[in-house]
């Protein structure tokens, strides 16, 4: 990355979410519009004010639509203007605001609507069937692997190398589902115990049902604008101060799964831009990607907020609780709110935006916050996207 | 600030590339582009990477996973734009203008020869509730639009045929044009219709191909190449979806070109001497010329020979898609490659490049390049 950045300041001034649920009746376009309308309303803008639209959606096969960006354009207000869909697998949700950021920072656009939508539930017989076709067609597909198998391998490796127990990891699920009780959009909130997690159905050892996020439909949207525009529409803009992303190679079979090195690279890129030198001291609130409970811990370490293998210890000490030193997933995360893949990543970014704006309602963390971070993860355990925001 | 194209590489542009996988094709194109950019090392010299592809074309549910390795983008900021390659160039320009990068690589590839169910894939691009009519002919929408355009401009079958004749003849000067030939208008009009009013010669054929381009900011471009091709302006636009579109008019091209011209500070359209325009269907070339405002009435100007080599604006002087084939999402980069070749040969000083995403979309991108 260049060191002599001269980019323009970029702010978030509005955001909107739909309910996250399984089998929503709305079409993908309707979901996208519902979130977009809410984001525009919060920003005080109309669709005619928007000059560019960025769309995010993960595999086309979920919605069963080829060229999904073109299809979603209509519902996302992408009519007679610049529209693009970006895609980095499950990490797409945070790539959407990153893309909107460079639309504005480049000077090409002033007011960008960033929209992410996913409708997983129509996939038959189950959304997992879509994941049968993500593998190398020659070397891997004939083995018919399943995504949960490979995440089980990663979880097992993380536990084995760092000597972490299932009980320690289950605390993430307990925390996030509890946090989600405060989130009006949440699908899988609940007051559960470690025992509930340990007694839930085993999917692929060591992954159990309550270690995972649910199948979800939903959409999220943000309004991202230049500094001039932000000052005109709000007294409390939230600034995007650092962005970073990285993709490891495709060959996950040859990768050391204990530590997400690609995430460290992405985080370093974002920290450099945001001038963050000690992430654990300088970041007040985080939304790391948590499709599985172990992933939140894995990502906290990749983000260098905890040392390798030490995230479970900090979790047990309450550092990541809503009233802790670095609240993690105050929204409830994917485990509690739901996981409509791309929309889930943008939901995490929106959670940080609302925290920094002080409008998170019951989700608002107890300590004053000035710097927040959202992160997403995807592809074949190879992609990460990071965004740092300040108020 | 201008953005320089400092290296280009390509592979394929033939109906079938049995000898390589799509990843090998990307690798070949990338190594050639890096060689062209003065033996650039992607692991140290490139800041960001962009790949342009669509899942359904690839037959892989998360095709993005395969983007980094063949282009040297592993453990680097690599992303996918699900769009035409020219839209990828637009994103590369934004990466550089935002200060995010000094050098960005843009890649796009297509391997339609691997697709057994092309008709079904295209059907899936229509709205799932009221757009999927199970049409047996993937070109039916083009037929409707070509008919409407004939009505709007009083165009004839011969006018469309003369676009085919011009482009296939121009393609004889292009190393990437497997469908070039010397035809006359009768050769086109006497063939059976695939869908009225288009024959098979009015419709570009699919080809396999991969293109990689290296973009660099103005301040570092000459480190890699003494004679970069400059991107003066670039923009893309989506008009709407099929249900609400103005069939017969390329409104998306009009919106995109106005912004691209503004960025390139083009005050008079007469300054543009050559155009590399999407001609997936013969009528589309005419429609796109009007969308680019290079002509008020493209049919009349075509009859006057204004789009021939040496004419007012040389349109597709290296054959376009009708001669070179349509490489799905790499189509825009194929047109840009033609423009770069033409500029490097010193034939013209500037060119406009305009791509379209194909049936059933209403999205186009426009770039203005100079030498």
Cα(A113)–Cα(A77) distance, integer angstroms: 8
Put simply, the answer to whether B54 touches A67 (Cβ < 8 Å) is yes
B120 Cα to chain A: minimum distance (Å):
10
Q: Which residues of A are less than 8 Å from B233 in CB distance? A: none
How far does B252 lie from chain A, in Å, by closest CA?
Answer: 7
| pLDDT at site A3 | 46
Any chain A CB within 8 A of the CB of B67?
yes
The pLDDT tens digits of the residues spanning B131-159 come to: 898 888 999 999 999 999 999 999 999 99
Say how far residue A177 (Cα) sits from the centre of its chain: 16
Using alpha carbons, select from B364, B353, B278, B358 the residue that is nearest to residue B8.
Answer: B353
Beta strands in A1-57 (DSSP E): 10-17, 52-56
Cβ(A25)–Cβ(A121) below 8 Å: no
> Considering only A102-106, A182-186, A217-221, B127-131, which range has the smallest mean pLDDT?
B127-131
* Helices and strands: H and E segment counts in chain A: 14, 11
For the cut 70, the answer to whether the pLDDT of residue B29 exceeds it is yes
Question: What digits encode the pLDDT tens for the residues A254-281?
Answer: 899 999 999 999 999 999 999 999 999 9
Mean pLDDT of chain B: 95
What percent of chain B stands above pLDDT 90? 92
Dihedral, CA of residue B173, residue B176, residue B182 and residue B184, to nearest 10: -110
Percent of chain B scoring above 70 in pLDDT? 100
Contact B216, B40 (CB under 8 A): no
- Range A234-253 burial, b when 16+ CB lie within 10 A, else e: beebbbbbbbbbbbbbbebe
pLDDT over 90 percentage in chain A: 88
Ranges assigned E (strand) in B177-256:
193-195, 198-199, 208-217, 229-238
Asked whether the CA dihedral B112, B115, B120, B124 is positive or negative, the reply is negative
Instruction: Out of A64, A101, A266, name the one closest to residue B124 (CB).
Output: A64
Cβ pair B129:A27 closer than 8 A: yes
Q: Which of A87, A100, A131, A269 to mutate to test the interface with B (most CBs of B within 10 A)?
A: A87
- Amino acid B47: pLDDT: 96
From chain A, pick out residues whose CB is under 8 angstroms from the CB of B122: 66
Residues B169-178 pLDDT 10s: 999 999 999 9
Q: What ipTM was reported for this prediction? A: 0.97
Decide if A73 and B255 are in contact by the 8 Å CB cutoff. no
Question: CA-CA distance, A11 to A389, in Å (whole number)?
Answer: 9
Query: Is the pLDDT assigned to residue A122 strictly greater than 90?
Result: no
Q: Which of A150-154, B116-120, B128-132 has the lowest mean pLDDT?
A: B128-132
Specify whether the CB–CB gap between B225 and B4 falls below 8 A: yes
Average pLDDT over residues B81-87: 97
By Cβ distance, the residue of B60, B100, B244 closest to A102 is B100
End-to-end CA distance of chain B: 15
| Helix intervals (H) in chain A | 28-43, 60-63, 68-75, 92-105, 147-162, 166-179, 194-199, 227-233, 261-274, 279-282, 293-302, 311-316, 333-337, 341-357
Using a CB–CB cutoff of 8 Å, tell me whether A240 touches chain B.
Answer: no
Q: Which residue has the tokens 């396999």?
A: B208
pLDDT band at A297 (very low <50, low <70, confident <90, very high): very high
Q: What average pLDDT is seen over chain A?
A: 94
Residue A130 touches chain B, beta carbons under 8 Å? yes
Q: How far apart are CA A275 and CA A268, in angstroms?
A: 10
Beta-carbon separation of B61 and A130 below 8 A: yes
pLDDT of residue A7: 67
Q: Which of B67, B76, B127 sits opposite A71 (nearest CB)?
A: B127
Ranges assigned E (strand) in chain B: 3-14, 48-52, 78-81, 103-110, 193-195, 198-199, 208-217, 229-238, 274-277, 314-315, 350-356, 363-370
Question: Which pLDDT does position A126 carry in this prediction?
Answer: 87
User: Per-residue confidence at B244, pLDDT binned at 50, 70, 90?
Assistant: confident
Find the mean pLDDT for residues A52-77: 93
Residue A128 confidence (pLDDT): 85
Which pLDDT score, from 0 to 100, does residue A4 have?
46
């Amino acid at each position: 990355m260049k060191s002599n950045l001269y980019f323009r300041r970029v702010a978030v001034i509005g955001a909107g979410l739909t309910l996250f649920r399984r089998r929503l009746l709305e079409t993908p376009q309707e979901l996208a519009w519902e979130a977009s309308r809410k984001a525009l309303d919060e920003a005080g803008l109309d669709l005619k004010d928007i000059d560019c639209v960025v769309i995010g959606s993960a595999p086309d096969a979920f919605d069963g639509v080829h060229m999904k960006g073109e299809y979603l354009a209509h519902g996302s207000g992408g009519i007679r203007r610049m529209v693009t869909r970006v895609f980095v697998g499950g990490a797409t949700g945070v790539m959407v605001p990153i893309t909107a950021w460079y639309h504005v920072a480049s000077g090409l656009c002033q007011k960008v609507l960033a929209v992410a939508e996913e409708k997983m539930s129509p996939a038959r017989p189950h959304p997992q069937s879509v994941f049968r076709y993500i593998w190398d067609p020659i070397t891997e597909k004939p083995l018919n692997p399943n995504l949960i198998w490979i995440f089980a391998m990663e979880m097992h490796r993380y536990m084995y190398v760092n000597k972490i127990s299932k009980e320690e990891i289950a605390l993430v699920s307990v925390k996030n589902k509890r946090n989600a009780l405060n989130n009006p959009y949440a699908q899988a909130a609940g007051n559960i115990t470690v025992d509930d997690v340990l007694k839930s159905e085993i999917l692929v050892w060591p992954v159990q049902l309550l270690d995972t996020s649910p199948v979800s439909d939903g959409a999220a949207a943000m309004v991202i604008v230049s500094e001039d525009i932000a000052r005109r529409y709000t007294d409390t803009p939230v600034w995007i101060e650092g962005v970073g992303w990285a993709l490891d190679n495709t060959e996950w079979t040859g990768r050391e799964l204990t530590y997400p090195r690609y995430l460290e690279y992405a985080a370093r890129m974002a920290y450099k831009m945001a001038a963050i030198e000690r992430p654990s001291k300088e970041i007040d609130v985080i939304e790391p990607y948590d499709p599985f409970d172990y992933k939140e811990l894995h990502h906290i370490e990749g983000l260098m907020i905890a040392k390798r293998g030490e995230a479970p210890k900090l979790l047990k000490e309450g550092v990541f609780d809503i009233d802790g030193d670095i609240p993690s997933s105050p929204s409830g995360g994917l485990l509690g709110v739901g996981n409509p893949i791309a929309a889930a990543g943008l939901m995490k970014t929106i959670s940080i935006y609302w925290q920094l704006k002080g409008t998170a309602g019951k989700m608002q963390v107890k300590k004053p916050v000035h710097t927040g971070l959202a992160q997403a993860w995807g592809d074949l355990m190879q992609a990460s996207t990071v965004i740092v925001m300040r108020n | 600030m201008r953005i320089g194209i400092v290296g280009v590489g390509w592979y394929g542009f033939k109906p079938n590339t049995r000898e390589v996988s799509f990843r090998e094709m990307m690798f070949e194109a990338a190594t050639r582009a890096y060689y062209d950019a003065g033996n650039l090392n992607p692991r140290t010299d490139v800041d960001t990477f962009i790949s342009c592809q669509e899942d359904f074309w690839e037959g892989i549910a998360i095709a993005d996973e395969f983007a980094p390795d063949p282009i040297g983008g592993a453990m680097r900021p690599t992303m996918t734009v699900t769009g035409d390659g020219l839209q990828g160039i637009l994103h590369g320009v934004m990466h550089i203008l935002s200060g995010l990068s000094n050098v960005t690589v843009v890649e796009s590839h297509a391997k339609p020869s691997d697709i057994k169910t092309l008709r079904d894939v295209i059907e899936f691009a229509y709205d799932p509730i009221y757009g999927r009519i199970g049409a047996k002919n993937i070109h039916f929408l083009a037929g409707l639009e070509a008919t409407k355009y004939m009505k709007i401009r009083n165009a004839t079958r011969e006018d469309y045929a003369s676009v085919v004749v011009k482009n296939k003849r121009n393609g004889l000067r292009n190393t990437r044009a497997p469908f070039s030939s010397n035809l006359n208008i009768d050769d086109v009009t006497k063939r059976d219709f695939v869908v009225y009013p288009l024959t098979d010669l009015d419709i570009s054929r699919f080809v396999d191909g991969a293109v990689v381009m290296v973009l660099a900011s103005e301040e570092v471009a000459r480190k890699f190449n003494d004679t970069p091709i400059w991107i003066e302006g670039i923009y893309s636009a989506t008009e709407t979806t099929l249900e609400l579109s103005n069939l017969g008019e390329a409104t998306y091209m009009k919106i995109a070109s106005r912004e691209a011209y503004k960025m390139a500070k083009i005050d008079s359209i007469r300054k543009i001497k050559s155009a590399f325009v999407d001609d997936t269907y013969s009528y589309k070339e005419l429609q796109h010329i009007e969308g680019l405002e290079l002509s008020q009435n493209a049919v009349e100007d075509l009859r006057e020979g204004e789009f021939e080599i040496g004419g007012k604006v040389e349109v597709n002087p290296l054959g376009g898609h009708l001669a070179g084939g349509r490489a799905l999402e790499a189509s825009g980069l194929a047109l840009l490659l033609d423009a770069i070749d033409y500029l490097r040969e010193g034939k013209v000083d500037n060119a406009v490049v305009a791509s379209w995403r194909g049936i059933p979309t209403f999205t186009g991108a426009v770039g203005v390049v100079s030498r």
